[in-house]
Amino acid sequence: MNRAVERILITEEEIREKVRQVGWQISRDYEGKDPIFVGVLKGCFIFMADLMRYVDIDCSMDFMAVSSYRGTTSTGAVSINKDLSQIIEGRHIILVEDILDSGVTLNYLKNYLMVRKPASIAVATLMDKPSRRKAEIYADYSCFEVPDAFVVGYGLDYNERYRNLPYIGVLKPEIYENE
């Protein structure tokens, strides 16, 4: 276990099993619909890669890069750093995110993409933290509901560190409290 991690919240094995289940569910729900999976970078990249291994339908992928966090908190201002490269009009979109926390970023993205007239937009997230929700948005597919703790690993970071951990861990408060 990494020295900056207080405890492991979700093991590598638990993640693998839940991602498999969600991938199979999405495959059943979107059979014949050719959805576009839209990954929200950077945090989604490990979850999305693993999820796609369990999706066995025709689909495509694209990515968006957005920023709204500084340190441990959302700034509330969302900026698009990389937009989609595909036309989404009439297509089913599955937004893939590492964690649905305040919901501000995903709510903004969903509204931003709705203007382009997709057939539908669903949200798939590795983790859902409803206790911190500030926007009216919910996950259509979620692997885990997590408590209000600062979590890292499996793509989630603190100041660009700890994304490489194969599990979800709770970061020790002394790592981020003096920021």
Residues tagged active-site:
101
Alpha helix (H) residue ranges in 2-61: 12-29, 45-53
**In 3D, which of 26, 87, 80, 86 has the Cα closest to residue 51?**
26
How many CA atoms lie within 13 Å of 16's alpha carbon, on the beta-carbon side? 4
- Report residue 113 as tokens: 């993409």
Cα 159 from chain centre: 17
Q: Where are the beta strands (DSSP E) in the chain?
A: 5-10, 36-41, 60-70, 73-82, 92-100, 120-128, 141-145, 151-152, 168-171
Q: Any residues with CB less than 8 A from the CB of 49 and at least 6 apart, and which?
A: none
CA quadruple 7, 128, 135, 76: dihedral positive or negative? positive
Contact status, residue 101 vs residue 58, Cβ threshold 8 Å: no
